[in-house]
Chains A and B, each alone.
Chain A
Amino acid sequence: MLRLFLAVLAALLLATGGLRAEPVGQILDTNRALIQKSSRLTIGPVIDALATSGDDRAEAVLQAWGDKHLGIRKSDGAFVLITRKGGDYVLTAPDGKAAGTAKRSDIDALRPNAGVRRLIDGALVQFQLNAPKRATRAAALDIIDRHPEAGQLKPLEASIPGEFDPGLRSRKERMLRLLTIRFGDDGAARIKAIESFGADTGLDLRGALNPLLDTKRVVTRAGETPPGNVARQLIPGKGIGDAAAYDLLVKAGDAPARLTPVARKQALEANIEGGKVGGVPVPDLSDPEARDRAYSALEQAGKVPQAATAAEVAAAVAAHAYWDVYAEPSKEVTDAARAALSKIALKVDGMEAFDLLLEALSLASIYFLAAIGLALTFGVMGVINMAHGEFIMMGAYTGYVVQQWIPNYTVSLLVALPLAFAVTFAAGVAMERLVVRHLYKRPLETLLATFGVSIALQQIAKNIFGTQARPLTSPAWLDGAWVLNDVVSISYIRIAIFVLGLVFLLLFLFVMNRTRLGLELRAVTQNPAMAASMGINPDRINMLAFGLGSGIAGIAGIALGLFAKVTSELGQDYIVQSFMTVVVGGVGNIFGTLAGAALIGTLQKGIEWLNPSNTLAAQTYMILFIILFIQVRPRGIIALKGRAAGD
C-alpha cells in the first residue's frame, strides 16, 4: 500500500514536472550545512525535498531525524541512522544498508530543536496516514488537527480508500472536508464541503470557517470601489470611527500623521526663541488654538514636519471611502461560509441558552440549600436568624475537621454530613433556648440578638481556624464534569448539589405533611395558644423546628464548602441572598422558597450573561430588581392567604 502510494506520489511529482526521484542520501549530502545547523526558519525546503523525494527510505530517515537518531560519522562525514546498543551505536546508511557499528564518540548525533521536530512531524504525517498501526494513523490525524496545512490535503485524500477502520475513516473524511474548506482549489468543491456540515457545532468546523471570513481594511478615494471580494463599506461615524479612519489613511500613506497634542507640545518646546514660538508669546500657549497657530507658523518656516491639524483630518477623512475586503477572493465561498456560520451561531446560541439554564438551575439549588433552613425558622416560625450564615459556616468547618481525621474523602463525607447536622442542630437548639425564646414577641430584637451571636461565632471561627481559606476536598468521583458537547457541560458537584437540594425539598415536604412533628409545627405556627390547649408543647416544637432549620444549614454548609473554599465569611456571603430568596419566594411556604431560589438563580445568571465581565455589577442589579419586585408582590411569589397569613 505504502509503496503504491509513494509510486503514485512520485509519478504525480514527475508528471507535474518538478523533481526526479532522488535518493535521500543525496539530498542529505547536498543540504549538509542546513541540516547540521538546522533552524525552523531555514530547514523547510530540505524537509519538503526529503518528503517528496520518492525514495521509499524517506520516511525512515525523517523518522530517525525527528527522534534524534540521525548522526554524522566523524571520520568521513557520512550521514548514518543510529541505534544504541550497549555503549555503542549500530549504524545504518540512509539507503537502508547496514553500516557496521561505531563508538559513541565517533558519531556526531544531530539534535534538531523543537521547532524543527514539529516540521519533521508535519512532513511525516503523509507517511503515517497509511501506517499499519492504528495508533500511528490516529496520531497523524491529531497532528493535522492541530496544524492543518495545504500539503496534507492530497495525502489525506489518497489515504481514505485504504482505511478500513470505520472510526478513523469517518474522522479522515471529516478532516478531508475541513481541509478542503480551507485549502481546496475548486470553489464548487469547497462550497459543497461547507454545506455538507449543515449546522455542525464542532469547534474544528468553526476554526476552519472563521479564517475564510477574515477581512482587512482598505481605503479608496470617495466614489471608487476596491478590487477583490468586498465584505462591506464602512461609513465614518458609523461602523468606523473618524480617528480609526484617519489612521487607515496614514497607514496607506495617503495622509500625513495626525498632530498629537504630545507631539505638538514637544515641537513647540523645541522651538522656543526669545520667549516666542512661531511668533506666539509663550504665556499664551495655554490655549490649544494658540498652539495650533504656533505650529502652523513653524510648519511654514519648515522647522517641523508636516502634520495634519483637526480641520485637515476631517477633510481627508471625508475625501475617502473605507471598506472591509475578504482575504478570500471567491464571493461564493465567503457567502456559503457566512451562511453556515450564521446557522451554526443560531444552534450554538440555543445550546448556550440551555447551558445557561443548567447553570441557573445549579445556582438556584445552591441558594435553595442555603435558604431552606431559613424558610423553616423565618418562614414558618417568623423568627429571623441572622446567625443562619454562621451555622452554614459551622457545617463547612465540621466537614473540614472530619477530613483532617479521616483521610478517605468518600468516607469522611459520609461521616461529615450527619455530624454537621448534629453539630448545628445542637447549636441551633442552644441558641433557641438561651436567646431566641425570650424574644418571640420582639422580632427586631431577635434580629439584633442573633446578629450578636453571628459576630461572636464568626470571630471564634477566625480565632480557631485562622483567616485563610481551608479546603474541603470532594471525593474523586465528584470531580470532573458531565460534558454533552463543546458548549454544554456541568460539573458533577453542581449535579450533586442539585440532587441534595431535591432530597431536602422532599424531606421537608415529608416532615411537614406526613409526620407528627410537622402537624404540630403547623398547628403552633397558625395559633400557638390553641395548639397549646390541644396538648402540644409550643416550646418543644419551636425548639425542634429551630434545631431542624439550623441542622439543614449545617448540611448546606458542607455542600457549599465542597463548591467554594471554607472561610469564616462563607455564611455571611450567602446570608443576604438567602433572606432575599425567602422574602421573594413568599414567607411560610417551601414552594415559595423554591420559586424564589429559581428566580434569583436565573436572574443572576441571566444578568451575568448580559455582562459577563462583571459579576459584582450582576449582583447589584439583581438586588435592585428584588427591591423593585417587592413593590409588585410585597408578600412574595407565593403568598399565604387567609388566617395563615397572620396580620
Chain B
Amino acid sequence: MSAYLRKNPSVLWFLAILALFVVAVTLMSPGTGSGMISTSFVKTLGKTLCLAMVALAMDLVWGYTGILSLGHMAFFAIGGYMIGMWLMYARTEEIVVKALSQSPIPPTPDEIFHGIGTQIFGVVGSSKMPLIWTFAGSLPAQLALVVIVPAVLAFVFGWLAFRSRVAGVYLSILTQAMTLALSLWLFQNDSGLRGNNGLSGLQNIPGLGGVSQDWLSIWFFWASAAALALAYILLAWVVSGKFGSVIRAIRDDEQRVRFLGYPVEGFKLFVFALTAVICGIAGALYYPQAGIINPAELAPIASIYLAVWVAIGGRGRLYGAVMGAVFVSLLSSWFTGGRAPDVPLGFGTIHWVDWWQVLLGLAFVLVTLFAPQGLGGLVDLVTGLRHPGRHGAPLGPDQGSLQEKEAQE
C-alpha cells in the first residue's frame, strides 16, 4: 500500500482535491445543500467528471502506450446506449402498464410488450422490438452489456489492427473509420436504436418517479465522482508497476520491446480493451445526466476533442488528463453557453458562441507547437522536473508525453 502511494504521490493529492470538490458541490447543491448552484449545473459538473474519466482512459492508451485512438468516444457512447436501452425500456414499461391498467380487463404480457414497442419505435415507423433489445428489460443484463459490448468491440478491432502491425497515424485513421462506421450505422432508422432520434428521456430513472431531479442529479454526481476516483486509483496502479514500464517502453520504442521478447500485441490489446471498458462505464454514468443520446455523440469529431483535452492537459500523467478534460469542457460550456462577454472590436463584435471553436482550434495548435507538456507542464515547474535539453536526438516519438525517468536525471 505504502509502496503504491510512494510510486504514485499524485493519488492522495487527487483524492483529496476530488473529495473537497464533492463536499463543496454537495453543500451548494439544491438537493442536499443551500441551493447556491442550480440542478443543471450540478449535472454539468457530474458530466464533466465522467468526461474526466474518459480522458483518463485516453491518457492510458495514448499518453502511456502511444496509441492515438480516435475511437474512444465510440465506446463511451456505446456504454450510454446500453444503459439508455434499459432506462427507456423500463420507463416506457411503467407508462404502458399504467395506461393499460385503465382498461376493464388486465393486459396480457404480449399487449404490454407490443405497447412498449409502439411507444419506443413509433418515431421510426415501426412497432417491433429489434433483437438487440432482448435484454433491455433487465437492469443487470444491460449493466453487464455496458462492460461487455465495448470490451468485445475493442478486443476484436484491436486484435485485427495490432495483429497486422497497424500503428501510428494509420491506426488513428483506422480507429476514426471505425467510429464513423458505427455512427453511420446508428444513423439509419432500421439499426434498431431509433436512428437519428437516439434514445431520450434518460434523466427519468424507472422506479424513482417520486424522486426530484435535484436529488437525482446529486446522486449521479456522487456516483460519477466515486467512479472517477476508482478509475484513477486503478489506472495509477496499472501504470506504476512493471506493466506500466512495459507499456511506456512500447510507446517509446515498440520494435525494441518486441525484440526483448515481450508480446507487444497482447499488452496493447489489454490496454485498448481496458480503456474501452472504462469509457463504457463513464458513458453509462454520463448519459442519464445528459438525458438524451443520439448517433451524433459518436461522430469522429467527439473522439478528436477527447484527444484535444488530453493534449492540453498533458499526456503521460493521469492528473494531466483530468485537468485537461475539466478545464476545456467547463471552459467550452462557459463559452458556448453564451455567458462569456462579447468583445467589441470596432469593425465587428466577437460573439464567443461563434468564435469559441476558432479559439479552441488555434489554442490547440499553439499548445502542440509550443507547450507539448500541456497544463501538466505547470506542475513540473512546481515539482522541479526538467526535460533534459537533448539537441538533435529526439526523446522518442511522443515528445509531449511525460517521461519521468528521463526528466529526473
With beta carbons under 8 angstroms apart, the residue of A439, A617, A626 that contacts B188 is: A617
One digit per residue, 1 when the CB lies within 8 angstroms of any chain A CB and 0 when it does not, for chain B 348-362 equals 000000110110111
Other-chain residue from B161, B169, B307 in contact with A384 (beta carbon distance below 8 A): B169
Q: Are B304 and A451 in contact (CB under 8 A)?
A: yes
Whether B358 and A447, one on each chain, are in contact in the complex, defined by CB atoms closer than 8 angstroms, is: no
Question: Smallest CB–CB gap between A615 and chain B, Å?
Answer: 9
Contact B105 A453 (CB under 8 A): no
Contact A269 B105 (CB under 8 A): yes
Asked if A282 and B105 make an inter-chain contact with CB atoms under 8 angstroms apart, the answer reads: yes
Distance to closest chain A CB from B317 (angstroms): 17
- Complex alpha-carbon distance, A445 and B368, angstroms: 7
Known: A442-B397, A579-B173, A634-B164. A453 touches B355 (CB 8 A): no
Residue A462 at the chain B interface, CB threshold 8 Å:
yes
Q: Check if A455 is an interface residue, CB within 8 A of chain B.
A: yes
A449 touches which one: B157, B174, B368 (CB < 8 A)?
B368
Complex interface: chain A residues within 8 A of B110 (CB): 261, 288
Chain B residue numbers with a CB within 8 Å of A458 are: 357
CB distance from A383 to the nearest CB of B (A): 9
Assess the B365–A435 pair: CB atoms within 8 A.
yes
Q: Is A619 an interface residue (CB 8 A)?
A: yes
B16 CB within 8 Å of chain A: no
Chain A interface residue bracket vs B: 35 or more
Cβ of B398 under 8 Å from chain A: yes
Q: Do A447 and B172 touch across chains, with their CB atoms under 8 A apart? A: yes
A579 to B216, CA, bound (A): 44
Whether B311 and A616, one on each chain, are in contact in the complex, defined by CB atoms closer than 8 angstroms, is: no
Q: Does A517 contact B (CB under 8 A)?
A: no
- Asked if A411 is an interface residue, CB under 8 A from chain B, the answer is no
* Minimum Cβ distance to chain A for residue B375 (Å): 16
CB pair A449–B364 under 8 Å, yes or no, is: yes
Docked pose: A460 CA to B163 CA in angstroms: 41
A282–B185 CA distance with the chains assembled, in angstroms? 46
Tell me, in angstroms, the Cα distance from A438 to B399 when the chains sit together. Answer: 12
Q: Is B181 an interface residue (CB 8 A)?
A: yes
A287 touches B108 (CB 8 A): yes
Asked whether any CB of chain A lies closer than 8 Å to the CB of B109, the reply is yes
**A8 close to B (CB within 8 Å):** no
Interface pair B173/A455, CB less than 8 Å apart: no
Q: Does A285 contact B (CB under 8 A)?
A: yes
Name A445's contact: one of B164, B170, B173, B372 (CB within 8 Å). B372
Judged by a CB distance under 8 angstroms, whether B331 is at the interface is no
Given contacts A576-B177, A583-B170, contact A268 B105 (CB under 8 A): yes
CB distance from B367 to the nearest CB of A (A): 8
* A26 lies within 8 A of chain B by Cβ: no
Chain B binding surface, main DSSP class: helix
The minimal Cβ–Cβ distance linking A382 to chain B, given in whole angstroms, is: 9
Q: Which residue of B lies closest to A579 (CB)?
A: B173
For residue A16, CB closer than 8 A to chain B, the reply is no
Are A623 and B354 also in contact (CB < 8 A) when A286-B106, A454-B361 are? no
User: Known: A452-B362, A576-B177, A624-B181. Contact between A463 and B104, CB under 8 A?
Assistant: no
Pairwise interchain contact A459-B358, C-beta atoms closer than 8 A: yes
Contact A445 B400 (CB under 8 A): yes
Known contacts A269-B104, A449-B369; is A620 also within 8 Å of B184 by CB?
yes
A447 and B304 alpha carbons, distance in the complex (Å): 10
- In angstroms, Cα B105 to Cα A283, docked, is 7
Is B388 in contact with chain A by the CB < 8 A criterion?
Answer: no
User: Is there a chain B Cβ closer than 8 Å to A222's Cβ?
Assistant: no
Are B368 and A619 neighbours in the complex by a CB distance under 8 Å? no
What is the distance, in angstroms, from B107's C-beta to the closest C-beta of chain A? 6
Interchain CB contact under 8 A, B364 and A463: no
Q: A435-B365, A439-B369, A462-B354 are in contact. Are A448 and B105 (CB under 8 A)?
A: no
In Å, the complex CA distance between A458 and B360 comes to 12
Nearest CB on B from A108, distance (A): 53
Give complex CA distance A580, B181 in Å.
Answer: 12
* Most interface-central of B107, B181, B184 (chain A CB within 10 A): B181
Which residue of A has the minimal Cβ distance to B180? A576
B176 within 8 A of A: yes
Q: Judging by beta carbons under 8 Å apart, are A455 and B357 in contact? A: yes
Which chain B residue lies CB-closest to A262? Answer: B111
Within 8 A of B (CB), among A588-647: 614, 616-617, 619-620, 623-624, 626-628, 630-631, 634
B17: interface (CB < 8 Å)? no
Q: Is residue A265 contacting chain B, with contact meaning CB distance below 8 A? A: yes
Measured in the bound complex, the distance between the Cα atoms of B184 and A617 in whole Å is: 7
- In the complex, the answer to whether A269 meets B103 with C-beta atoms within 8 Å is yes
Judge whether A623 and B180 touch: CB under 8 Å.
Answer: yes
| Residues of chain A in range 432-475 having any CB-CB distance to chain B below 8 Å | 435, 438-439, 441-445, 447-449, 451-460, 462-463
Per-residue B-contact encoding for A90-117, CB less than 8 Å = 1, 0 else: 0000000000000000000000000000
In the complex, A435 Cα to B369 Cα: how many Å? 7
Min C-beta distance of B254 to chain A, whole Å: 11
A277 within 8 A of B: yes
Q: Is A243 an interface residue (CB 8 A)?
A: no
Q: How far is the CB of A610 from chain B (nearest CB, A)?
A: 15
B96: min CB distance to chain A, Å? 14
**Is A291 in the interface zone, CB < 8 Å from B?**
yes
Q: In the complex, what residue of chain B is closest to A460 when comparing beta carbons?
A: B358
**Cα–Cα, bound, A598→B168 (Å):** 25
| Complex: chain A residue closest to B356, CB-CB | A459
Closest 3 interchain pairs by CB? A456-B361, A452-B364, A455-B361
